[in-house]
């Protein structure tokens, strides 16, 4: 395991030993430490506009609010001054939960920043989120992508800032290649990150969507999905023929109709100008029975 002390001083980074702690270590770029926590008015707190987290589960927020009501706020939020108000750096879920309770004040650490820039605000918000163990994989991917796209950071630089392996950052960034429908599904926890990685093995967009629908509707396991996508992985290693050799608009249209009807991979192979074969794939006995029922056999 990487020595945690070795990553300090390498750009903006923070190491957390407890998933409930938002920011526990800062580096030399921020000269002033956090002041002891104090109560500040909820109405004077401005939510960080660069906060990468977009989805907040309402049921879990109410559970957190009830926990705060019974046991109090164990971990204060972290803010910085913004004129006469305060900008939230970390702890938006706790702030929302306290608002649900109708409380006027909340315990907060005041964070002093020497460089009040969007880059610092974004990185602090990203680190607060990225280091949390319960963060959605798609939110992590979006956070890494934001650093890469808007601040021109390489994968190595991102990994350095958030104290992760470069390969970990690369794997999360690959999720950006998913179709919008599958990204939303992953964000909603309808599929797992492992499912998403298996779907990325399929090059054809429509095949991806078809398989994703089956994963959601039929509760296909990651192991079964791995078997279903294994052929695509092997085929990508082979030399692909020129587009003119494989693309026939009429054949493609028929394939699409059959694929949508049977809910599985269908391929039409032309042997001569007027003959060929239709290959309908199945991946289990239940799959075969479902296909034959569709075919009314």
Contact between 4 and 15 (Cβ < 8 Å): yes
Burial bucket for residue 73 (CB in 10 Å: 0-12, 13-18, 19+): buried
**CA–CA separation, 223 vs 195, rounded Å?**
9
**CA–CA separation, 154 vs 131, rounded Å?**
19
For 70, residues 6+ apart whose C-beta sits below 8 A from its C-beta are none
Contact between 281 and 207 (Cβ < 8 Å): no
Catalytic residue among 2, 58, 92, 139: 92
Catalytic site includes residue 92: yes
Contact between 90 and 79 (Cβ < 8 Å): no
> Which residues are marked as active site?
92
């Amino acid at each position: 395991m990487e020595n945690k002390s070795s990553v300090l001083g390498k750009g903006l980074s923070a190491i957390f030993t407890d998933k409930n702690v938002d920011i526990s270590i800062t580096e030399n770029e921020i000269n002033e430490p956090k002041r002891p926590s104090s109560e500040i008015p909820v109405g004077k707190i401005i939510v960080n506009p660069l906060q990468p987290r977009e989805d907040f589960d309402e049921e879990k927020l109410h559970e957190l609010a009830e926990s705060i009501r019974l046991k109090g706020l164990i971990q204060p939020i972290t803010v910085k001054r913004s004129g006469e108000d305060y900008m939230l750096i970390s702890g938006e879920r706790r702030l929302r939960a306290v608002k649900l309770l109708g409380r006027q004040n909340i315990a907060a650490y005041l964070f002093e920043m020497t460089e009040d820039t969007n880059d610092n605000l974004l990185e602090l918000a990203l680190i607060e989120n990225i280091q949390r163990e319960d963060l959605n994989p798609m939110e992590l991917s979006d956070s890494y992508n934001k650093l890469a796209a808007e601040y021109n950071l390489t994968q190595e630089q991102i990994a350095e800032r958030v104290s992760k392996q470069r390969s970990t950052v690369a794997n999360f960034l690959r999720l950006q290649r998913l179709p919008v429908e599958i990204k939303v599904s992953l964000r909603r926890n309808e599929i797992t990150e492992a499912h998403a990685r298996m779907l990325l093995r399929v090059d054809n967009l429509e095949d991806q969507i078809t398989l994703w629908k089956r994963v959601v509707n039929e509760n296909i396991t990651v192991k079964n999905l791995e078997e279903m996508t294994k052929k695509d992985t092997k085929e990508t290693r082979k030399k692909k023929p020129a587009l003119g050799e494989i693309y026939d608009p009429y054949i493609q249209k028929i394939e699409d109709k059959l694929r949508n009807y049977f809910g599985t991979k269908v391929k039409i192979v032309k042997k001569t100008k007027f003959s060929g074969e239709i290959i309908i794939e199945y991946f289990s006995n239940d799959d075969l029975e479902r296909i034959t029922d569709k075919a009314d056999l």
